[in-house]
Amino acid sequence: MQRYRAVLDVFEGAPVVEVARRNGVARQTVHDWLRRYANDGGLGGLADRSSRPASCPHQMSAQLEAMIVAMRRAHPAWGPDRISWQLERNGVESVPGRSSIYRALLRHGLVEATKRKRRRDDYRRWERGRSMELWQMDVMGRVHLADGQEMKLVTGIDDHSRFAVCAKLVGRATARPVCVALLDAMRQHGVPEQILTDNGKVFTARFGLGPGPVMFDKLCNDNGIKHLLTAPYSPTTTGKIERLHKTIRAEFRTEHDRRHASVEDVQSALDEWVVEYNT
């Protein structure tokens, strides 16, 4: 055994420099072999060692993995992002990353292996530094009642905390019901500094033919809110509200009846869902 012979050579009086040269290693390596021979059990201390660390600070505990699995089974529509967010809200320290949660779900057969999509080189994630600095608002369609009637949903989310501030059903997404939804949200949660929306005509006259600002713009101005608009054809700017829409479609429509008897039934179920989402 090369290492043992090298140690014996040193013990017999050969210079460490010469032993290192004959064995084609650095002097520090020979010193390391001597230390291991003396401190780690003689010949056994010279055996090859695994490069794996004795402990991995990022390794998921069995308890945390069980918690993740339980969340997924209780809420089949929850993905890694939603589970990570919920763990943080539940006060879990050192919440694992999305990929670690995905692998845990994969180990238990709760997700299917998928090919990773390559992120665009010019993608940049951004968020505001504190709550109530910016809300994102939008209108979501295709909410159906038992009689086939289609409703709209006025939605709002805090850009920093991801807190859902608005989920109000309306028959038509016209100026008055959208503004009433915003007023209700402000009464309940306070007035944000800024609101970001797309360029829909219910939010702005930017591309319209009207003589002046629309009701939503006026409401923002009256309450000292700066109304920000996305650049045309840039849906990623309002990515957080789009993510909320995706979550509502997946979770609300999965965990509640897909068809409801009345607007009141739908709104009541939505209100309950929002409370759970925010807690």
Question: What per-residue confidence (pLDDT) applies to 7?
Answer: 77
Longest dimension (CA), the chain: 100
Question: What per-residue confidence (pLDDT) applies to 69?
Answer: 87
The residues, ordered by sequence, that sit 6+ positions from 125 with a Cβ below 8 Å of its Cβ are none
- For residue 42, how far is the Cα from the chain centroid? 51
φ and ψ of 154, to 5 deg: -85, 120
Q: Is 138 helix (H, G, I), strand (E, B) or coil?
A: strand
pLDDT in tens, 32-83: 877 776 666 666 667 766 555 555 555 677 778 888 888 888 888 788 888 8
CB atoms near residue 199 (< 10 Å): 15
The residues, ordered by sequence, that sit 6+ positions from 252 with a Cβ below 8 Å of its Cβ are 269, 270, 273
CB 178 within 8 A of CB 216: yes
Question: What per-residue confidence (pLDDT) applies to 64?
Answer: 81
| pLDDT tens, per residue, the chain with 279 residues | 677 788 778 767 778 888 888 888 888 888 887 777 666 666 666 776 655 555 555 567 777 888 888 888 888 878 888 888 888 877 677 788 888 888 888 888 887 765 555 555 444 556 677 889 999 999 998 877 777 788 899 999 999 888 899 999 998 888 899 999 999 999 999 999 999 998 888 888 876 655 667 899 999 999 999 999 887 766 556 778 888 888 888 777 644 545 556 788 888 888 888 888 887
Question: What per-residue confidence (pLDDT) applies to 268?
Answer: 87
**Helix 27-39 × helix 2-11 angle, to 10°:** 90
Question: What per-residue confidence (pLDDT) applies to 254?
Answer: 47
Domain ranges in the chain are 2-46, 62-107, 134-278
CB 203 within 8 A of CB 196: no
- For residue 10, how far is the Cα from the chain centroid? 57
CB 79 within 8 A of CB 85: no
The fold adopted by the segment(s) 134-278 is Nucleotidyltransferase; domain 5 (3.30.420)
CA separation for the pair 230, 202 (Å, rounded): 14
Which of 135, 151, 250 minimizes the C-alpha distance to 197?
A: 135
Strand partners, 49: none
CB 115 within 8 A of CB 129: no
Question: What per-residue confidence (pLDDT) applies to 97?
Answer: 83
